[in-house]
Structure 1
């Protein structure tokens, strides 16, 4: 069998998926890595002086010095007879889309080592014959006259049907909110594919780009109009506008998880900071979201249906990840609201599935009866249980191996108490700064970074009081403690790791590192720190006594954190919904495991045999066997689980549920939830003390830490 490819030429991002035999033989569907820092790439074209067209990340990079040569959002202009002037030359929207498509096909061909047999492109369902006729020109200009066109909702529903095993005759509504357009379509599952029912609806100019503009206008108003009242022809001001718009895009994305973000505006008169809350952002975009609900109602009515006739409402498009969308659609229609593997990828993956039907199968070779299959018998080294073996990442949890002047060896001699299946709240600590994020517990202290206060609070475990607030040069987010040092990841503009002497509780050095640092961990010997850089899609390595961070290995897109356990590195990806396993010494990828949706955190059991992942969009925890590299169970927990930790005795796992303000307790023997404990508002992280007596939960909106008595 050859390869089929599905390509989603989106308004703001472009994605591609391939389906076909992998290097080891079995058929698989995977996203092609197009972007430098992720799977998708920006839908952008840069026209050089000599007329060469650069696309994707290369186009965005080149535009930093010559922004007038960059074109974005040109898909919205398809069919407009007026050409777009880019770098002083006229281009049709179709020509710019073709340049992007040609570049994507070159990447696809290089990835699979051959030209794919079948190519499927997607377009909005609301496009009429005129727009589709112009879109037909795109593959012709790109040298792909045989490409097939399907609607984006058909592709999304095809992928959904494969994931959820949609029954023949069942109806789904596709709610596709992308970067530039909104589409809604009703589809019925048939044995041979999906059938559009009723009349698709859409809103041509409504999507993530418009939400970006709303956020930009809000920020501009907050700085007294210093952005829109400036001269955009001034090269210096053009840079300010570009930087602020980029900051607004990042802020929009971060607000899907963060309760608030700070947008930094580099005005020529001086830098300004604007704090934007999720509530304020929701108010900005609520009228637009209400319009999408009205459009979906009309689509359902056009098919002669009611919401009760739908099996589910399928959310697709990157902008559908905004929490308000899920909330409003759920409340309006009262039907299950589902999200694909990742909204940004759903359309491309579905298009690839459709492409696969047009690929000729490879003849099956039947082995002779005497042929004996080769069986891989690779052995996994399982580490001995130890106090510091339970490691947690992703939602801001960082476990530790030391603290203050205490050594790892001293803590290994500590007595570990039996963990409780029904912990109680032992107290609440206030005064830890605004918006506490990560947490790490040593033998005698607790370290809590607070991103808005730019401090790391130090809590004395015996008195349960904050004894020091360590100032940081940039917003701190996550922390891990090893021996006599704590390592704190700093957000932009710091983009660094602050090294804290835990005996003095003072910053002794700051090491520049990456662009988007998340939860780190140290190696078992305490000599190296590994840090996932989500924006650069790589893992960085820092010697704990060093001053330079160097690349360790490529990381999956959306890597939120990692755990080092014996000779393995486990990395969790929120975009790919998987745990990737690497060898600590060779840096080789040993395998990957698909887990729940939007996996933000993971923890490893003390014996190293089991991984637990907190799946934010699934409200579940996935249980993974590390030897077979397979999911063995899925456990329903609270709303929006964001952090998970395993007790040192290995008998219970604790899950912080960001959406419901609770901690779920899991008995690892039965994989059953034994208790649900209310904590503060939007719990972000939790960590269990090395002796197993207490767990500490950071509550982001309560600006507090809840102490749970976890010892039986």
Structure 2
């Protein structure tokens, strides 16, 4: 738990900086050059600090946990960083865990991801912690590190890491002082730092409010909506899958509304309940009224930090804003009004701490205030509520309904109710390893005495090892391909860099085709058919584990057929289906229970059809193949269900898939002649596509397209590499069918990955479709 000034083994490998946040976790790497972020998730570099306890006792982490927890919140646990030191365990699916044990699982998963990406474990890890944690809670951080068993680890105060990153960009001079205002998802920290010749020194006391952050603001918005809805929620069956899913969506929409108000002055929160759809309007002024009292407390804490540091506002170079919640415009307004000092908001506040942490050991210096003194100088008495947010006044729900809504909608871990005596909290510490909010150990509690007069040993579950997340996400070179075999079509895991490396994922009976990978590349949906034309969606891990039908019951809109599904990369709990029922064909946004959330487009008539949907990376649009609606080609429609589809290509075009890195760019199959197809790129916003291949006009108008294969064969079913620089596709040639690889720029000739018979029968999957 030391904070050294050097880094052992630096030249032999790399260092990993980890910001284990309340709501999000981020990591950065450095191997001698400039630091860089480590991509932990698919939708963003950081991942949600969320765990999901599977029935086999293993944990899913981050995006996968969010997705699985949407339908089973009793197995989800989040915000456990706030509970570090709490003597009452968190109950997850009936099993008690300490916050330290859960944090260890999250840390171990981050290190495992880094090890997988780099091919070796880090030489050293720098783990950050809130600056106002006292010596006792810092000891609990040591328990987290020990339980995770991740190798040599040092610790670093979060504001100090942020200052290091800020200094790397702002070119501070020795003697310059900054105040770091860190308002994250669950905690608030502030301290004053002075630049020295080799690093930073913390001046005065580190101030903070442990129980204040973005999750409290999310809850304020949620309760505002609950108050607006009134009795409508009382009638909701919270025990039904529909009720739980509705509240999960509502809470997610409340979070998005809060974030939207950082750039807009008003927003509308959709409310979709079983049998009722409505909306609640929220303005920035209303949000600021809800959260202003709590933010005023952070300003007061900033003033205390300046006073104990012997620093005036005029002596500050800037107040550096760190943490996702520091983006709220009212934060900067209040600070500038009080201190008349410039505020500096870096490009991505969620990344700054991890980026600074990975540089910490090079520049760390002793602080001027002893850590043991911090707990008593944070300005907030132990157990005192940090900020009282206004409660809704319109038609309040009953206390019982509020409690059930809070638990089910948020997927929060249920607390153990009643007296918990002598429970060993999975940390190896029979004393309970807990602390009050002030960072001091709790009173000792003994178990009842036995008949021999000695204390009976505590009854405790066995200590659990940190288990790896399963299934493991695919590497950047791995993709899933359907291959025709003597016993039928089967899914295989293959490697683009090694044609001989293939692993069968499905064993039948029946045929499996049309795989679509989840955003985190840990799961896939595919069409499973036991008879021709009888395919239904199945879901499994990308290692083939846990295969099962996706829906217990297909939507009625899909009664007569369904084509390859598409994940919503922005929200992995949602899918887009192209379905047929009677004379009606349409696109539908559904959840993973099969409930239709929104109709995106419907049409009817002879020869009318839609198929092959693909959701854009931002989750706002769907590209699909269309026949006679009224034209042919690739069309795009919004996932909000508003507006008509827009035609972006014409002709017998199909198989659209969005680039994961180039905004608006879609790869698709274009018919050159009846017997030859090419892979072509088009921009859905009618802009030109950069092209080193054959530039061609876009017939519906707009920027030119880019043809990346020559059209001399039958090329179809493109899929992008995770980096967006390559496209794999199915090619039909005289010798059979194979998977080929081409540069997304159109430069160079495609090369075969697998071309021997039997070949690919259907679309390969490399990234989210």
Q: Are 2:118 and 1:112 aligned?
A: yes
1:149 is paired with a residue whose SS is: strand
Instruction: Check the 8 A contact 2:187/2:209 in 1, yes or no.
Output: yes
Distance change >3 Å, CA 18–CA 473, structure 1 → 2: same
1:64-463 to 2 correspondences below 5 Å = 64-227=70-233, 230=236, 232-355=238-361
Map residues 480-519 of structure 1 onto 2, 5 A cutoff.
Answer: 495-496=621-622, 511=636
Structure 1 residues not aligned, in runs of 5+: 22-26, 359-471, 476-488, 554-559, 570-581, 592-712
Decide whether aligned partners of structure 1 residues 541 and 319 sit closer, same or farther in structure 2, where only a CA change above 3 A counts. farther
Aligned to 2:691: 567
- Cα distance in 2 for partners of 1:38, 1:583 equals 28
Q: What secondary structure sits across from 2:34 in the alignment?
A: strand
Seen in structure 2, the aligned counterparts of structure 1 residues 219 and 131 have a Cα distance that, compared at 3 Å, is same
- Please give the per-residue CA displacement for 1:554-600, whole angstroms capped at 9, x wherever unaligned: xxxxxx9996454279xxxxxxxxxxxx9984978799xxxxxxxxx
Counterpart CA distance in 2 for 1:562 and 1:281 is 37
Q: What SS class does the counterpart of residue 28 from structure 1 fall into?
A: coil
Distance 1:60 1:552, change over 3 A: farther
Once the two structures are TM-superposed, the CA of residue 494 in structure 1 deviates from its matched residue by: 7.3
Measure, in 2, the Cα distance between the counterparts of 1:328 and 1:583. Answer: 50
Matches within 5 A, 1:553-702: 564-567=688-691, 585=708
How many Å apart are 1:532 and its aligned residue?
6.8
Q: Retained in 2: the 8 A contact 1:490–1:496?
A: yes
Aligned positions, number:
433
Q: How far apart, CA to CA, are the structure 2 residues paired with 1:561 and 1:202?
A: 46
Q: State the partner residue of 1:43.
A: 49
- Structure 1 residue 134: Cα displacement: 0.9
SS in structure 1 of the partner of residue 18 of structure 2: strand
Structure 2 gaps of 5+ residues are 1-10, 365-597, 602-614, 673-678, 694-704, 710-719, 726-769
Distance 1:80 1:40, change over 3 A: same
Task: Decide which moves more: 181-190 or 285-294.
Answer: 285-294
Instruction: Report Cα offsets for 1:64-93 as digits up to 9, x if no partner.
Output: 221101000000000011111001101010
Q: 1:539 to 1:19 in 2, by over 3 A?
A: farther
Provide the C-alpha distance between the structure 2 equivalents of 1:61 and 1:590, rounded to a whole number of angstroms.
Answer: 24
Structure exhibiting the larger radius of gyration computed from Cα positions: 2
Displacement of 1:146 in angstroms is 2.1
Do structure 1's residue 17 and structure 2's residue 28 form an aligned pair? yes
Distance 2:235 2:204 in 1: 47
Alpha-carbon spacing, 1:170–1:221, altered in 2? closer, same or farther (3 Å): same
**Mapped pair 1:7 → 2:131:** no
Q: Name the CA distance, whole Å, in 2 between partners of 1:33 and 1:210.
A: 27
Q: Report the Cα distance in structure 2 between the residues aligned to 1:78 and 1:200, rounded to whole angstroms.
A: 19
**Cα distance change on mapping 1:354 and 1:249 into 2, 3 Å:** same
CA positional deviation for 1:281: 1.8
**Cα distance in structure 2, aligned partners of 1:544 and 1:299:** 63
SS at match of 1:250: helix
Contact 1:118 1:356 in 2 (8 A): no
CA-to-partner distance for each residue in 1:97-150, whole Å, 9 max, x for gaps?
011111110111112221111110000001111111111111111113521011
Equivalents in 2 of 1:257, 1:96: separation in Å? Answer: 35
Deviation for aligned residue 1:340 = 2.3
Q: Distance in 1 between matches of 2:289 and 2:670?
A: 45
1:31-81, CA deviations, whole angstroms, 9 ceiling, x for partnerless residues? 111122111101011111221111111111221221101000000000011
Contact 2:198 2:363 in 1 (8 A): no
Quote the residue 1:62 is aligned against: 68
Contact kept? 1:6, 1:355, Cα under 8 Å: no
Give TM-score scaled by structure 1 length. 0.54
Question: Hey, what's the Cα distance between the residues in 2 that align with 1:299 and 1:269?
Answer: 52
SS of the residue 1:76 aligns to: helix
Where 1:496 maps in the other structure, the secondary structure is strand
Q: Deviations over 1:225-284 (max 9, x none)?
A: 534675544443222211111111122222222332221112123111122222222222
Asked whether the 8 Å contact 1:5–1:355 carries over to 2, the reply is: no
For 1:1-56, what per-residue CA distance to the aligned partner results, in whole angstroms no more than 9, with x for missing partners?
321110000000000000116xxxxx232111112211110101111122111111
Q: Distance in 2 between matches of 1:151 and 1:193?
A: 14
Q: 8 Å contact 2:619–2:639 — kept in the other structure?
A: no
CA distance in 2, matches of 1:543, 1:258: 39
Q: Secondary structure at the match of 2:35?
A: strand
Distance 1:240 1:342, change over 3 A: same
RMSD of equivalent CA atoms: 4.3
TM-score by length of 2: 0.50
- 8 Å Cα contact 2:617-2:660 kept in structure 1: no
| 8 Å contact kept, 1:10–1:179 | yes
Query: Separation in 2 of the partners of 1:288 and 1:325?
Result: 11
Tell whether the 8 Å contact from 2:668 to 2:680 is kept in structure 1 after alignment.
no
